[in-house]
Structure 1
Amino acid sequence: MSNATLTISSKNYSSWSLRGWLLCRMAGLDFDEETVATDDVEARQELLLLSPSVRSVPRLTNGNVTVWDTLAIAEYMAEIAPNAGLLPADQAARAHCRAVSGEMHSGFYNLRSALPMNLKARHASFKIFSGARPDVERIKTIWTECLEKYGGPYLFGPKPTVADAMYAPVCTRFRTYAVPLDPALSAYCETIFHWSLMQEWTQGALIEPDEIVELEVEF
């Protein structure tokens, strides 16, 4: 039994659980998964209100350390696994990575409401309501700037970083809701989809029971 436990929620619907899980796996942490039932009040809040700070999930317990905020998990992983490359080695790139990761963590509420994560769903077309369109365009701009500046295929170069863990659920949303992307951004999403950790998570999501019939989000 591992000394660490990561508490998560639905692999199909929970974008914040995915982020926390990716960060721990990227750091090489040996941990057990503990799944909160989707009828748990806080778990449903995390899924339906799309909150990054609901205390129940994701929550990492590692020995006597407990950390539950996604960015706090990222920083903790970077501290205990400094050679894992979760943050770029270059100081300026590292600051840039933290900035775009923080922007994902604290913003894009309209996009989250309009395009909730659902790995099992595929829409041939989907009308995005006007409030979410600026979020979509801002994410496209962030990705374009990072890929052009650092050369891809990940946002900060040849290996995934915290930023890729933070934006990986967005790639799945864009695929689910058929969001048009230019070739460079489509290629980035394909890089994320072929990432072995994402494939592992997705396999788990696809065999998960459909416990939540519909996400009823007000927007």
Structure 2
Amino acid sequence: MQVDTPPDLKLVCGNRNYSSWSLRAWLCLRKAGLNSEVVVLPMDTPEFEARIAEYSPTRRVPVLWIGDELIWDSLAIAETVNERFANASLWPEDPVLRALGRAMAAEMHSGFAALRHALPMNCRATARPVVIEDEVQVDIQRISELWSAAMERSGSDGWLLGDFSIADAMFAPVAVRFKAYVLDLPEHTQAYVDYWLADPDLQAWMSLARQESWIIEHEEVGALSN
């Protein structure tokens, strides 16, 4: 998909290497064919604290600016992009699949706290040893079940609901997390991770992340992201 990008479209992100919520919003823009201006604010730095109020009343990222209009929170950004720029193509036409995708996106948006804490996103990391506690394994199992159920319902062997959807964007950082740590994943789960890692847009984000020099101590970024 390729559309004309409004000249006043601006996405404010955290570090590409760490900011999972920024990745979700950026992917929706890319999949809608938009190449917006991107402002990267390095989290856990004096620069972030000095500049974030200029862009975000919540002092969190990501934030999408359309002219003087502000949309915050990654899921709200995704839905706005879908409505205004993607001709509603970021959700399936089928109402059953659409409802399933929205439920999955909402669960990812509000859940999986144990996984977020134990396996922070780091685009530069690969196969890091990690001890998986029971509550983290529960999260991994639930995510695997969600992916399996979605692909079984849609008949897809690629994206979760057939074509790319907002649900895929919401789970993209999970794929990056699963790459970053040594995990024993079910075959279908690893297949979806591999499918995402081969995606050109995600590869472009990962390449930019590898060029960043910022390092967040302990990679504890959850408090700064929507």
TM-score normalised per structure 1: 0.87
Task: Note if 1:178 corresponds to 2:182.
Answer: yes
Contact kept? 1:26, 1:84, Cα under 8 Å = no
Task: Note if 1:190 corresponds to 2:186.
Answer: no
For CA contacts below 8 A with separation 6 or more, give which structure has more relative contact order: 2
**Structure 1 segments of 4 or more deviating over 3 A?**
39-44
CA change 1:43–1:171 in 2 (3 A) is: farther
Q: Secondary structure at the match of 1:67?
A: strand
The residue type paired with residue 120 of structure 2 is P
CA change 1:217–1:57 in 2 (3 A) is: closer
Q: Give the aligned partner of residue 50 of structure 1.
A: none
User: Gaps (5+ residues) in structure 2?
Assistant: 1-5, 50-56
- Offset at residue 118 of structure 1 (A): 0.7
The match for 2:122 among 118, 122, 128 is: 118
Superposition pairs for residues 14-163 of structure 1, below 5 Å?
Answer: 14-40=19-45, 55-83=59-87, 85-123=89-127, 125-152=129-156, 153-157=158-162, 159-163=163-167
Q: Give the aligned partner of residue 53 of structure 2.
A: none
- Offset at residue 132 of structure 1 (A): 1.4
Contact kept? 1:58, 1:69, Cα under 8 Å = yes
The match for 2:15 among 10, 23, 29 is: 10
CA change 1:138–1:124 in 2 (3 A) is: same
CA change 1:42–1:89 in 2 (3 A) is: farther
- Offset at residue 91 of structure 1 (A): 1.0
The residue type paired with residue 34 of structure 2 is L
- Offset at residue 131 of structure 1 (A): 2.1
CA change 1:129–1:203 in 2 (3 A) is: same
Determine what percentage of the aligned residue pairs are the same residue.
Answer: 39
User: Gaps (5+ residues) in structure 1?
Assistant: 45-52
The residue type paired with residue 69 of structure 2 is V
The residue type paired with residue 113 of structure 1 is H
The residue type paired with residue 171 of structure 2 is Y
TM-score normalised per structure 2: 0.85
The residue type paired with residue 194 of structure 1 is A
Could you tell me how far apart the structure 2 residues matched to 1:125 and 1:40 are?
Answer: 28
The residue type paired with residue 74 of structure 1 is A
Contact kept? 1:2, 1:30, Cα under 8 Å = no
Could you tell me how far apart the structure 1 residues matched to 2:70 and 2:173 are?
Answer: 24
